[in-house]
Chains A and B, each alone.
Chain A
Amino acid sequence: MTDRSRADVLLELADDELILGWRNSEWTGIAPFLEEDVAFSSIAQNEIGHARALYELVAADLGTTADELAFDRGPDDYRCARLVELAFVPDWASTVARHFLYETADAVRIEALKASADDAVAGIAAKIDREEVYHRIHAEMWIDRLGSEPQVREALDRLLPYALAVVDEELRPELARRVEEKLGWTNRDVEAVERGEHLPELATLWEEMTVVRRSAPAGTQW
């Protein structure tokens, strides 16, 4: 980990997982076939579960709650990378490309966190990694199937700069190496689209994601 606080490092990860989980869940009911409907729904559920666990850890540090972190911030306060904000339904080629790039980037990031001297961080990272083995198998299966199709190649090329920004700068060469290892090609001359500003799509997602929370007075019991 760098010299940032634990909360700063984990919020980026948690926000990525929450927003990507939301994007993946947009395929629920409308994926190209039933197995993928189940797969993307299940992966979404895992990602949101990871976000919840991470928010709980961060909430303890910041004196707040996981729900407040997940739903009570404004869209500009989220730390997520733009890769996870992009809205793709019904574009399956871009979805497959992002799925592979995100899971590969997340593996690199999670491996680094597993080596953390902070036991709570290392413990959560190890558990996330066990679950994401299945996400990676699934993503790589789709690259084997469609990776050489022009639409998927174009999407991989277009999204690589976004994927690089998912991990810290020192981890980017390793991410590029893994992407190249799987695809057999990569574009090394791209600049990362850094975190910071958000795409307009995030505000639209946020409106939908927080509508129930915002409609209910604080302290409502479900």
Chain B
Amino acid sequence: MVTAADIWAALDEIPDPEIPVISLVDLGVVKNVTVEGSRVRVAFTPTFMGCPALDAMRRAMEQRIEELGAEPEVEVVLDDSWSTDLITAAGRAKLEASGFAPPAPRSAGPTTLVQLQRGPYRCPWCGSADTRLENIFGPTPCRSLRYCSGCRQPFELFKTL
């Protein structure tokens, strides 16, 4: 019989389809796991609603739960309960190691253009704070593009949500 801890451990092995250095658990999108006998319910929150990886994430979770011999039921929760604040410390470290500046906390208030242009976003490659906004939008809805004048490399910033 599977336990909730088994399910959490299994889901922690599923990489984010678009940023595979980080797992779904590190990303904080698994909101809740409930086990009743062989039925496993997972409440899951998308990062951005238009995230094209949504269905891939859901299928990956269902498949992994089935491999453990349980019946999955993955519910997508569409409210404001996911925030970039829920990315774990380990997740933030993994993001940084692969060239993403982690998001500013929600407590810094709603993002503004001035903040994006002047904010002290450090370059994940060289650590310089001499970086500038290249584009609010990037390869996926959750990312912005920045450029580091220190090491002359572009990098991505995880948007605060």
Residues of A within 8 A of B (CB): 35, 38-39, 41-43, 45-50, 52-53, 56-57, 119-120, 123-124, 126-128, 130-131, 133-134, 137-138, 140-141
Contacts and interface: CB of A to CB of B under 8 A. Distances in A.
* Best-buried of B110, B140, B141 by chain A (most CB within 10 Å): B141
Interface string B121-154: 0000000000000111111110001000000000
B50 A123 contact: no
Contacts of B116: 137
B80 interface: yes
A-side binding surface: helix, strand, loop or mixed? helix
Interface string B64-81: 000000000000001111
A47 B49 CA distance: 9
Contact of A46 (B50, B78, B79, B113): B50
Contact of A131 (B113, B134, B140, B141): B141
A134 B111 contact: yes
Given A42-B141, A134-B137, 7 more contacts: A42-B138, A46-B49, A46-B141, A127-B49, A127-B78, A137-B113, A138-B137
A45 B141 contact: yes
B-side binding surface: helix, strand, loop or mixed? loop
8 contacts: A35-B137, A46-B141, A47-B50, A48-B50, A49-B141, A126-B80, A131-B48, A137-B116
B49 A35 contact: no
